[in-house]
Chains A and B, each alone.
Chain A
Amino acid sequence: MNKRHLNSALNSFGLFVLGAVALLWTMPILWAIAVSFHSPNEPLSAANLWWSSQPTPSNYAQALQIAPFGQYYLNTIIIVLGILAFQLVTICLAGYAFARYRFRGQNILFFLIILQLMLPSSALVVPNYATIRSLGLFDTLLAVMLPFFGSAFGTFLMRQTFKTVPRELDDAARVDGANWLQSLWNVYIPPARPALIAFALSSISFHWNDFLWPLIVTNSTASRPLTVGLAVLTQLGEIGAQWPLVMAGTIIVVGPLLVLFLIFQRQFIDSFLHSGLK
């Protein structure tokens, strides 16, 4: 077989594989969406799997009635934005200190912070749960947020980013009478914006999806995020095999995410590429 034939045969075969895998990959979400509109009067069966003959939004209405998804959304939004707001402040301050100052114990302190990157937070839930209990914070939104206010990854990222800012710019600002905060704000932060945005997106998506920690420290509607709320709905005995209802609940949770992803596909993917770590 000559080269051109081999290349074009591989090309067609490649396209076929891509198409088949893409079809398999999208099936679950398409099915979930279709079933979420299935009429409760038509039982699901092998013969009646996709579109109901009378699609209805009633499953959504019922899911919203059983589970307070509005409250869950609010909780999740407060949690992810609260964590992010704190992180942005702490990582900029610490990243700036490590990038621009020489001080005693610098390396050991940096190492202690970076250690957080090497210890999965999920492995430390036992003592952290005890800490939350002893602080009297169990079943509060603050309990879900608190362990994540300091971020080794963010500190590391900001240190690397700030180091690329030319020292002369900083010196010039200082000569003009700027104090450290003005220099950080006017000289260092503006060129670091892409890194900050990437960090923000990866922080938001990690904490939006987090499950184990909020499951452990929440116990009521007032503090449960979406993920735990959906798990509670799924595990409700009485709704058992009412799949259209469960799928409606699932789509309520993932729908907005998917829409956002469709709109900001590039930014999403870039932010995931930048993180790779929480």
Chain B
Amino acid sequence: MALTSQATVETKQAERHLRFRNAALPYLLISPTLLFVAAFTLWPLLRVIHDSLYVQNQAVQTPRFTGLGNFLALFSDPFFRGVIENTLLYVIITVPVSVFLALVLALLLNRKFRALGLYRLAFFYPTVLPMVSAATIWLFMYTPGYGLLNVFIEFFHIPSQNWLGDPKLALIALMILGVWKQTGYFMVFFLAGMQGLPHDVFESAKLDGANIVQSTLAITLPLLMGTTLFVTTIAVINAFETVDQIYIMTGGGPVNATNMLLFDLWQTLFSYLDVGRASAISVILVVMLLVFTAVNFISTERRATYE
């Protein structure tokens, strides 16, 4: 009798142990991911917010609370306002231009013809190159005198320009590189979106007498709204994070004409060793991007769910 109850207790203990193990298992499974995300995303986020409220630089080694002082100082600094202006200008111009061009190229490529693969290759290959290498090639393209771009425009009797040395042109030069680098990337999203469109709708539109322009405007474009939103958010996020090409091509100059948020962040930290100010710039970047990353995530979820 005593023996059986002893056995029952043991079984119960083993069961409880097993249940505990089962209950603990999912936490164990997510713990590695959670550990790294906590250490390199969540904790840094809190820390960067905290540090942005303190003065901490070469002169002030022990952090001193300043509230929104770093932010006020940044926004009243014409240098930083220039950085914000350049960033926004770069976003506002490169995003619509490259998304629109990508859409046009995709529309033109969306049919069966022999050279399709070749064209796709021509437009897409810049995506594969590291930005650093692309920027090095374009640094050469912009060389005064014999840079290919200057030779090209001289062909149309436009005088050779010092693209990267002229404050009025340098940002445009970076924009051209940006459009060249990412248009093919956006194009393949549109192409994939078009492949998924229902064929019968186009057939019946054709039977009803619609021409290419009409069916594109009335059917293709409205059905591509989801893809357009997704591509646009990627484009905005990438544009805000522009930094590699600035490092390679201009160093933010001439006279701050090409300095953007992430480059300024890097310089503030490593050239001026100003942790408080660099943290405040980080917070500004996070806040500016948050809306776009959230929309991007929601449309990623849609794509992943309905694919």
From B122, which residue of chain A is reached at the shortest CB distance?
A22
Give which listed residue, B117, B119, B289, B297, contacts A123 with CB less than 8 A: B289
Chain A residues near B45 (CB-CB < 8 A): 115, 119, 124
Are B237 and A120 in contact (CB-based, < 8 A)? yes
- Given A125-B265, A126-B278, A180-B25, is A120 in contact with B37 using a C-beta cutoff of 8 Å? no
Chain B residues near A208 (CB-CB < 8 A): 130
Closest CB-CB distance, A253 to chain B, in whole Å? 5
From B278, which residue of chain A is reached at the shortest CB distance?
A126
Are B30 and A109 in contact (CB-based, < 8 A)? yes
Are B128 and A268 in contact (CB-based, < 8 A)? yes
Q: How far is the CA of A66 from the CA of B7 in the complex (A)?
A: 76
A51 contacts the other chain (Cβ, under 8 Å)? no
Are A126 and B297 in contact (CB-based, < 8 A)? no
- Given A254-B129, A257-B129, is A22 in contact with B123 using a C-beta cutoff of 8 Å? yes
A41 contacts the other chain (Cβ, under 8 Å)? no
B interface bracket (residues with beta carbon within 8 Å of A): 35 or more
A116 contacts the other chain (Cβ, under 8 Å)? yes
Among B108, B275, B303: residue with most chain A CB under 10 A: B108
Give which listed residue, B104, B269, B290, B304, contacts A156 with CB less than 8 A: B304
B255 contacts the other chain (Cβ, under 8 Å)? no
- Given A117-B297, A261-B125, is A126 in contact with B290 using a C-beta cutoff of 8 Å? no
From B295, which residue of chain A is reached at the shortest CB distance?
A118
For chain B, residues 269 to 307, give those with C-beta under 8 angstroms from any C-beta of chain A: 269-270, 275, 278-279, 282, 285-286, 289-290, 293-294, 296-297, 300-301, 303-305
B44 contacts the other chain (Cβ, under 8 Å)? yes
A interface SS class: helix
Closest CB-CB distance, A96 to chain B, in whole Å? 6
Are A216 and B270 in contact (CB-based, < 8 A)? yes
Are B244 and A124 in contact (CB-based, < 8 A)? no
From A118, which residue of chain B is reached at the shortest CB distance?
B293
Chain A residues near B133 (CB-CB < 8 A): 227, 230, 250, 253-254
Give which listed residue, A119, A131, A249, A277, contacts B300 with CB less than 8 A: A277
Are A96 and B29 in contact (CB-based, < 8 A)? yes
A141 contacts the other chain (Cβ, under 8 Å)? no
A113 contacts the other chain (Cβ, under 8 Å)? yes
Q: How far is the CA of A211 from the CA of B130 in the complex (A)?
A: 8
Are B140 and A269 in contact (CB-based, < 8 A)? no
Chain B residues near A156 (CB-CB < 8 A): 300-301, 304
Among A22, A35, A114, A129: residue with most chain B CB under 10 A: A22
Q: How far is the CA of A101 from the CA of B38 in the complex (A)?
A: 21
Closest CB-CB distance, A103 to chain B, in whole Å? 4
Q: How far is the CA of A160 from the CA of B306 in the complex (A)?
A: 11
Chain A residues near B117 (CB-CB < 8 A): 265
From B48, which residue of chain A is reached at the shortest CB distance?
A127
Closest CB-CB distance, A18 to chain B, in whole Å? 5
B247 contacts the other chain (Cβ, under 8 Å)? yes
A27 contacts the other chain (Cβ, under 8 Å)? yes
Are A209 and B131 in contact (CB-based, < 8 A)? yes
Chain A residues near B146 (CB-CB < 8 A): 44-46, 49
Chain A residues near B143 (CB-CB < 8 A): 241, 243
Chain B residues near A131 (CB-CB < 8 A): 39-40, 43-44
| Stretch in A54-62, A142-150, A165-173, A185-193 touching the partner | A142-150
- Given A125-B265, A126-B48, A250-B137, is A18 in contact with B188 using a C-beta cutoff of 8 Å? no
Are A18 and B30 in contact (CB-based, < 8 A)? no
Closest CB-CB distance, A168 to chain B, in whole Å? 20
Chain B residues near A180 (CB-CB < 8 A): 25
Closest CB-CB distance, A82 to chain B, in whole Å? 13
Q: How far is the CA of A124 from the CA of B39 in the complex (A)?
A: 11
- Given A31-B141, A269-B124, A277-B300, is A18 in contact with B213 using a C-beta cutoff of 8 Å? no
Are B30 and A22 in contact (CB-based, < 8 A)? no
Going nearest first, the 8 A-B pairs with the smallest beta carbon separation are A150-B36, A97-B29, A127-B44, A147-B40, A101-B26, A118-B293, A209-B130, A22-B122
Beyond the given A94-B30, A117-B293, please list 12 additional residue pairs across the A-B interface where CB-CB is below 8 A.
Answer: A17-B104, A90-B33, A93-B33, A114-B297, A115-B41, A120-B240, A123-B262, A126-B278, A211-B131, A211-B247, A230-B133, A265-B117
6 contacts between A and B (CB under 8 A): A7-B211, A25-B184, A46-B151, A93-B29, A98-B30, A150-B33
